[in-house]
């Protein structure tokens, strides 16, 4: 199985690129089976489920207007027959970290069933940008990371076949960002 993550910085703007890339992957010798997107920047009712389904994929989203948002896209031909139905493809879905009060849509977890494999837990995550260590956003990021770590420990006990993908927003050194002064 092959999985990938992509911060699209607006699925509305990048949809043609995403579909073109998925199409090229579908023709590859070892195509991508799952794609986790981050920074959708739109609500679930605006997410392009139909367009992706027409291209041979099914998807689930946890969107937010203007900021954040995550999704999981699955190649239909890689799934068991039961899983090809959008109603049954995504099992045990979690939107956001349980027991962590958060208005930001940064987590989407689902169990999926690929052909000839045991079920797998996929998590698409868009980690907060902490900005300056003295800022409230940095405190939020630390609290979010603590809640994520606690939740992941529980998830791993329940779902030993788990993959966490996404934009981790980790830049330990100035050279890791385009403009460290921003």
pLDDT value, residue 82:
63
Distance CA 51, CA 53 (A): 5
pTM above 0.75, yes or no: yes
Q: How many CA atoms lie within 13 A of 51 on its CB side?
A: 14
Note the pLDDT of residue 84.
58
Average pLDDT of span 38-44:
98
Domain ranges of the chain: 3-171
The pLDDT tens digits for 106-159 are 999 999 988 888 889 999 999 999 888 899 999 999 999 999 999 999 999 999
CATH topology of domain 3-171: Deoxyribonuclease I; Chain A (3.60.10)
pLDDT in tens, 51-92: 999 999 999 999 999 999 999 999 998 887 665 566 678 889
């Amino acid at each position: 199985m092959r999985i990938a993550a992509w911060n699209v910085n607006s699925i509305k703007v990048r949809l043609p690129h995403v579909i073109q890339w998925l199409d090229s992957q579908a023709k590859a010798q070892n195509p991508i089976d799952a794609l986790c997107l981050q920074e959708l920047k739109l609500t679930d009712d605006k997410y392009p489920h139909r367009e992706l389904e027409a291209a041979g994929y099914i998807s689930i989203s946890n969107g937010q207007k203007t900021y954040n948002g995550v999704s999981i896209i699955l190649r239909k031909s890689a799934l068991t027959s039961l899983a090809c139905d959008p109603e049954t493809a995504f099992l045990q879905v979690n939107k956001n970290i349980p027991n962590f009060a958060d208005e930001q849509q940064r987590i989407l977890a689902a169990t999926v069933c690929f052909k000839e494999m045991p079920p797998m837990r996929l998590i698409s995550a868009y980690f907060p940008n902490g900005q300056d260590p003295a800022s409230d956003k940095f405190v939020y990021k630390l609290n979010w990371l603590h809640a994520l770590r606690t939740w992941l420990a529980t998830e791993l006990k329940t779902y030993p076949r788990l993959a966490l993908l996404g934009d981790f927003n980790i830049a330990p050194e100035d050279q890791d960002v385009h403009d460290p002064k921003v």
